[in-house]
Amino acid sequence: MKKKSSIIRILYLSLLCTVLLIAIRIAYTGNWRFASLVWNMFLAFIPFVLSITLLKKMNSSRLTQYLLLATWLVFFPNAPYIITDFVHLDHTPPVPFWYDLVIIFWAAWNGLILGFVSLLNIEKFLLTKFGKRQVNVMVYLSLVLCAFGVYAGRYLRWNSWDVVANPHEIYRDVKYIALNPEDNMRTWGVTFLFSVLMIICYYTIRQLKQAMREE
């Protein structure tokens, strides 16, 4: 319990440091550039909170549990999405290039860690319901869906709320992509590369966790 509390405190400290760097930049330049990263980190924080809530609802009804699980899956892509904010990186004096680089990297790091910790929590929950092999398949699938969600957020400009607000538009876009793969090579390329990236990163973290436990 103490170790988990320490990890959460570190996560909070990391988020606070990133927000502080952005606030210093705004105060220094009078420009609100990168302020959107604060909102993106907030969105990345949501799946983390949902995963903790799900673990605390182990004795609640299946409907409640699966509703939380579905909501987590919808918000999960917001965590690694911050990686794509590197497209906004350029030299904008008087702020040094390296300062903006640190801001975006730190924000992206926060998003990835929040996402992977939330997935570890989800995996822990799923292991109480399904076998290990089934859970591995679900984890792989969630990471692939997350990768597509990152693409959809950056290029199709979807957000998590559109699942409820604009389901018909989402269905239309997905149908077009599925039926016209030759016209959507960027979709498949981005989804594939992000899937590989996140699967390798996640399982690296999981193996490190296992190795530390064994030691």
Output the six-digit token pair for 198: 């996140």
Q: What is the pLDDT of residue 135?
A: 96
- Cα–Cα distances in Å, from 57 out to 8, 43, 50, 105, 122? 19, 22, 10, 34, 12
**Residue 72: what pLDDT?**
97
Domain edges within the chain: 2-214
Give residue 96's pLDDT.
94
> For residue 92, what pLDDT is reported?
87
What pLDDT is attached to residue 139? 96
Structure tokens at 107: 């924000």
Residues 212 and 25: their CA atoms lie apart, in Å, by 38
User: What per-residue confidence (pLDDT) applies to 195?
Assistant: 97
Query: Consecutive sets of 10 residues in the chain, 215 residues long: mean pLDDT of each?
Result: 72 96 95 94 96 92 94 96 94 92 97 96 95 96 96 92 87 92 93 96 89 73
What is the SS3 assignment for 16?
helix
The reported pLDDT for the residue numbered 68 is 96
